[in-house]
Amino acid sequence: MKVSADLKAFQTRIGYEFSQPDLLVRALTHGSISSPTRGDNQRLEFLGDRVLGLVMAEALLDHDKGASEGLLAPRFNALVRKEACADVARQIDLGVVLKLGRSEMMSGGRRKQALLGDAMEAVIAAVYRDGGFEVAQALILRLWGDRVTKVEDDARDAKTALQEWAQARGQKPPTYVQLSRSGPDHAPVFTIAARLQDGTEAQSTAGAKRQAEQAAAAALLAQLEQNA
- What are the E-state strand segments in 42-199? 175-182, 189-195
Cβ of 149: how many Cβ atoms within 10 Å?
A: 11
Helix, strand, coil distribution of the chain in percent, nearest 5: 60, 10, 25
Task: Give the C-alpha distances (Å, rounded to integers) separating 225 from 165, 179, 219.
Answer: 11, 24, 10
The answer to whether the Cα torsion of 21, 144, 34, 102 is positive or negative is: negative
In terms of C-beta density within 10 A (0-12 exposed, 13-18 middle, 19 or more buried), how is residue 103 classed? exposed
**CB 12 within 8 Å of CB 21:** no
The closest alpha carbon to 224, from 189, 190, 194, 200, belongs to 200
What residues are annotated to the active site? 49, 121
